[in-house]
Amino acid sequence: MTATAENTSKESQASKRPRKSDRTKAEIRLGWLLAGPAFFVMLAVTAYPIAQATFDSLFSFRLTAPDERSFVFLDNYLLLFTDGMFWRIFGVTLLITVVTVAVELVLGFALALVMHRALKSMRGLLRTAILVPYGIITVVSAFAWYYMFDINSGFVNNWLSWVPGIDSDLDWFSNFGTAITVIMASEIWKTTPFIALLLLAGLAQVPDELVEAARVDGATKVQQFTRVIIPNMKAAIMVAVLFRALDAFRIFDNVFIMTGGDANTEVLSLLAYNQSISRLEIGLGSAVSVVLFICVLLMCVLAVKGFKVDLASGTDSSSGKKDGGK
């Protein structure tokens, strides 16, 4: 294995020529031999199911009555799009996405700046601490937040009883505003560390000299931040926001654990789950799954085309470096 790689790596510069030598062919074969299994496993576990889901979504198909399966073309989608409930659920999902990502961006920046500026001796401690929410199971985080606010066992009502509107009778999970707040709080708590670490890596790439130069030129701290630091880490910010937005749009665990969709907190993933797994309405559930998939795809395309987020930027730059170095 290494023998071939060994020989061919010397050859790679020459391989830019259009004519393919035997060695290049061998390299291509080895490349796909090594990378192929991972590639095909990935395709098999996602591309096939989504194709199947798209197919299923065109049928009226209930697992409890498999014989009554009939082709209905786009009726499932029509049913969804003409149902006010779907749009409410869609709105809730979008609301969660926008609010959590916005808050996480601000909080994440604060955390990143703290870690960036912190003394060396403190960095390890800070990093260790914020990795706990990152690594913890989402369901555990959901239960932790649920019990804090729970009307029976929670202490929040007691602690915050001085706040107008909060008293021991407040059931946070019985109405939309309060329930969605706790759901979003747990989501924000769990995922801010991820954004913070990405931003920290972005901060590290801003040249110190630039900030120093701005300081010498009389820029205030705020100006240094808004005019020098942020523009220079735009790529890191955009990647972090996009990744988190795509992730937030798929939110499921917290909602399932905390409210199960009650108090109008149902989200798209939960709708798909309820249709397919609980009600065994494979046709309708598949339609929801496909809609969810298309939404995520659209967000991605929009970000990449509209905001010029180069998701593969890192790869490009380092592969460029690598090619250049050879």
Partner 1 sequence: MASSKRLTGRQKLGWAVTTILVLLYALFPVAAIFANSFKTQADLGNPTFWPANWTLTHYEMIFVGSAQDLFLSSLRNSIGITLIATFVAVVLATLCAYAIARLNFPGKRIILGAALAVSIFPVISVVTPLFNLWRTIGLYDTWLGLIIPYLSLTLPISIWTLSAFFRQIPWELEQAAQVDGATQWQAFRKAIIPLAAPGVFTTAILAFFIAWNDFVYGISLTSTEAARPVPAALAFFQGASQFEEPTGAISAAAIVVTIPVVILVLLFQRRIVSGLTQGAVKG
Of 265-324, binders to partner 1 (CB under 8 A) are 268-269, 272-273, 276-277, 282, 285-286, 289-290, 292-293, 296, 300, 311-319, 322
Cβ atoms 241, 105 nearer than 8 A = yes
If residue 216 lies in a helix (H) or strand (E), which one and from where to where?
Answer: helix 208-216
Nearest residue (CB) to partner 1, 65 versus 129: 129
Q: How far is the CB of 219 from partner 1 (least distance, A)?
A: 16
187 touching partner 1, by CB under 8 A: no
Q: What is the C-alpha to C-alpha distance for residues 3 and 274, in angstroms, rounded to an integer?
A: 53
Main-chain phi, psi angles of 311, to 5 degrees: -65, -30
Residues in contact with partner 1, shown as a per-residue x/- string from 19 to 48 under the rule CB under 8 A: -----x--xx-xxxxxx-xxx-xxx-xx-x
How many CA atoms does the CB half-sphere of 282 hold within 13 Å?
Answer: 19
246 touching partner 1, by CB under 8 A: yes
Q: What is the C-alpha to C-alpha distance for residues 109 and 114, in angstroms, rounded to an integer?
A: 8
Q: How far is the CB of 63 from partner 1 (least distance, A)?
A: 7
Q: What is the C-alpha to C-alpha distance for residues 102 and 202, in angstroms, rounded to an integer?
A: 18
82 touching partner 1, by CB under 8 A: no
Q: Which of 98, 137, 213, 298 binds partner 1 (CB under 8 A)?
A: 137
Nearest residue (CB) to partner 1, 47 versus 85: 47
Residues 203-242 binding partner 1 (CB under 8 A) are: 205, 208, 235-236, 239-240
Main-chain phi, psi angles of 175, to 5 degrees: -135, 160
Q: Which of 70, 158, 174, 181 binds partner 1 (CB under 8 A)?
A: 158
Among residues 101, 59, 52, 95, which one has the least CA distance to residue 77?
59
